[in-house]
Structure 1
């Protein structure tokens, strides 16, 4: 699978999020700022997870979205698609927004957007790269933020009641420091793009290590409570490609999708020209003794 948004003539798609809804697969992704100078969120659909067709965009409507939106996370809850995405272009003021859809194409924005930004002296107030998962009767929201100097990207988490509106008043930050920050050499100064999965009572976080094209590569950590995390590997689970391959510059920004047959797929972004173009692809993830591995094609 290779997918890119070519609306503006440049193959460019990042930050995938995939759900199955009403008999189709839906993918939400960041499309480049080539049309009006702003990042946006594209919508594609598929019947087989392999062949994707762009079918729309999430409109930029609210005042907080004026400079752009991107990096969606998606989940189906109570018969609707919930999209959690970030504002863009406000750097330390960028925050997480929420919208819902009953058809996959049209979204009603949360009136309280942005619904979440972190607090505390351990971060700079920014929240990006949202993903959510249901756990112990709550919806957990994972986000990337930075240290007060804006240099180190790291992970945090908030929670809301599962049957809430997911508005600004519903979220409570449940960490007083970063829950996962870069420590390994290949992670550089960045851990971002948490991609959440629940299996046998445990939570798994597939994450992107290092900033884009350094190269960014994908690791994995595990937790029982959603706050305390332990890495499963010291090397990337999904590394960038060999020189000359389509993803030689990066394999990054993951999203973990579990299909109705319980097979799991890791969607991710890659390129081989240091970010002039971007494509989305996927690999199937197998499980051996609750440890994920990349299945051979």
Structure 2
């Protein structure tokens, strides 16, 4: 994504400084990347679930430079990789979800996976269409082979109603809250410079198709950049429920500005308050593997343990690696273990 200079900031709201110094590096439980398409490390946008007795991670893989041998008309754009693990530490690539529908042909990316009624539902964005990118939906009985919704895309905000948005929708995150499936998304302002987060919702017993989702952020975004480290971008919401509250791990700053990870809290999934004026997980110090960024969080709750997956690199986006660290909890909220 293009980088934009930080916009002028007025007086900032006051937040508690709950988190420890962001200069401290997180202890990693895993690192994983994908070299199958380019021959160099490139994997972004992790989303992890437990399904079928193993852990599955969905992530963005790069565009291919040429068709695989013997394959005509292979879609060259971004696609989605699938890896599995028995322990959240060692991962094996199992396959790819490649563009199939006409609307997907320029690429698909940033998957958000959720298990509902015994199936994996995948919400993901189209890529390469600028303001027209939107959220698609597919589902699977085995976590590897997906059936597309014939009505894709299933959601994007209507800029005539949500006048603060240009109508784009990316970085899907699906989360069940009560009798609703909350669909969090990132979008740009009408000038296509500032990234903000909105949310739509559908009945949890629906098919999650076009027409099922109602945008509940028509009046305003639920989170927009305010702090200096967030610059002109808030994106990649990832939600977990803990002790009766919802916690949103989000990315602040465009790629490699650096992008870093903050946390907000909510009781209803609609109104959010930042926990700190500092990122929970910052980019690493010079010379570290993630010195260019720690971004695009994918939080995963398994039993009573919480794992924060994220992307990083040290070459300003020439390569990308996924990693995870364990999150602890206290009365103030999450902390890096």
Superposition TM-score, scaled by structure 1 size? 0.97
1:50 paired with 2:93, answer: no
Could you tell me which of 23, 31, 35 is aligned with 1:6? 35
The whole-number CA distance in structure 1 between the counterparts of 2:136 and 2:210 is 9
Alpha-carbon offset, residue 197 of structure 1 = 0.8
| Root mean square deviation of aligned Cα | 0.9
Where 1:170 maps in the other structure, the secondary structure is coil
Alpha-carbon offset, residue 2 of structure 1 = 1.4
Q: Which protein is bigger by CA-based radius of gyration?
A: 2
Alpha-carbon offset, residue 46 of structure 1 = 0.6
Change (3 A) 1:290 1:75: farther
Could you tell me which of 28, 31, 47 is aligned with 1:17? 47
Q: Match for residue 30 of structure 1?
A: 60
The whole-number CA distance in structure 1 between the counterparts of 2:115 and 2:332 is 24
The whole-number CA distance in structure 2 between the counterparts of 1:98 and 1:44 is 19
The whole-number CA distance in structure 1 between the counterparts of 2:183 and 2:328 is 25
Alpha-carbon offset, residue 38 of structure 1 = 0.8
Q: Match for residue 140 of structure 1?
A: 182
CA offsets 1:251-277 (integer angstroms, 9 cap, x no match): 000011011x32010000000000000
Alpha-carbon offset, residue 59 of structure 1 = 2.5
Give the number of aligned pairs: 294
1:80 paired with 2:119, answer: yes
Q: Which has the higher contact order (CA 8 A, sep 6+)?
A: 2
Query: Superposed, which structure 2 residues align to 1:64-143 within 5 Å?
Result: 64-119=103-158, 120-143=162-185
Q: Match for residue 17 of structure 2?
A: none
The whole-number CA distance in structure 2 between the counterparts of 1:75 and 1:199 is 17
Q: Match for residue 245 of structure 1?
A: 288
Q: Match for residue 14 of structure 2?
A: none
CA offsets 1:135-161 (integer angstroms, 9 cap, x no match): 121000000001000000000000000
Indicate if the aligned counterparts of 2:288 and 2:314 stay in contact, CA closer than 8 A: yes
Indicate if the aligned counterparts of 2:98 and 2:108 stay in contact, CA closer than 8 A: no
CA offsets 1:109-146 (integer angstroms, 9 cap, x no match): 11111000012211000000000111121000000001
Alpha-carbon offset, residue 35 of structure 1 = 4.2
Unpaired runs of at least 5, structure 2? 1-29, 67-75
Where 2:103 maps in the other structure, the secondary structure is helix
Q: Match for residue 191 of structure 1?
A: 234
The whole-number CA distance in structure 1 between the counterparts of 2:259 and 2:293 is 5
Structure 1 stretches of 4+ with a deviation exceeding 4 A read none
Query: Superposed, which structure 2 residues align to 1:126-275 within 5 Å?
Result: 126-175=168-217, 176-259=219-302, 261-275=303-317
CA offsets 1:229-262 (integer angstroms, 9 cap, x no match): 1000100000010100000000000011011x32
Alpha-carbon offset, residue 34 of structure 1 = 3.0
The whole-number CA distance in structure 1 between the counterparts of 2:198 and 2:155 is 12
Which is worse superposed, 143-152 or 32-41?
32-41
Where 1:186 maps in the other structure, the secondary structure is helix
Where 1:181 maps in the other structure, the secondary structure is coil
Unpaired runs of at least 5, structure 1? none
CA offsets 1:17-43 (integer angstroms, 9 cap, x no match): 000001110000000113454111011
Q: Match for residue 71 of structure 2?
A: none
The whole-number CA distance in structure 2 between the counterparts of 1:38 and 1:45 is 23
Superposition TM-score, scaled by structure 2 size? 0.86
Where 2:31 maps in the other structure, the secondary structure is coil
Indicate if the aligned counterparts of 2:181 and 2:203 stay in contact, CA closer than 8 A: yes
